[in-house]
Amino acid sequence: MLWMLRLLGLGMMTVGFGLVLRPLAVLGDVVPFLGGLVGFGVGVIAFLAASGISLITISIAWLFYRPLFAILLMVIAAALFFVARSFLGSRGNETPVEPDYSSPVQQ
């Protein structure tokens, strides 16, 4: 019964993340075939984020009574966040382009 409640919480959290990210899917509906693809991506990201946060919540609750199981759940949650990060692509690795101020401006 307790695991059914945990799964229900996971489902509700997935729906919540999906609703928060839904405007991205609506923006993707401007191009017909792109809307379904963006909607699928939003669903995957919502599920991965909700799964990771649910596992972290469960592992914190179990940390005192079953520490090895709690650590295993935290490792699985970290793997889910890594998968979500790789699904989004590597962002923030770009180096900013510096403007060249060495050449004189012609007037």
Tens place of pLDDT for every residue, the chain, 107 residues?
Answer: 888 988 898 999 999 999 998 888 888 888 877 878 888 888 888 888 898 898 888 888 888 889 998 999 899 988 888 887 887 775 555 565 666 666 665 55
Cα-Cα-Cα-Cα dihedral sign, residues 97, 88, 83, 79: positive
Q: What is the DSSP letter of 46?
A: H
Distance CA 88, CA 104 (A): 41
H-helix or E-strand containing 64?
none
Q: In the prediction, which pLDDT does 72 show?
A: 92
Q: In the prediction, which pLDDT does 95 show?
A: 60
**Percentages of the chain per state (helix, strand, coil), in multiples of 5:** 75, 0, 25
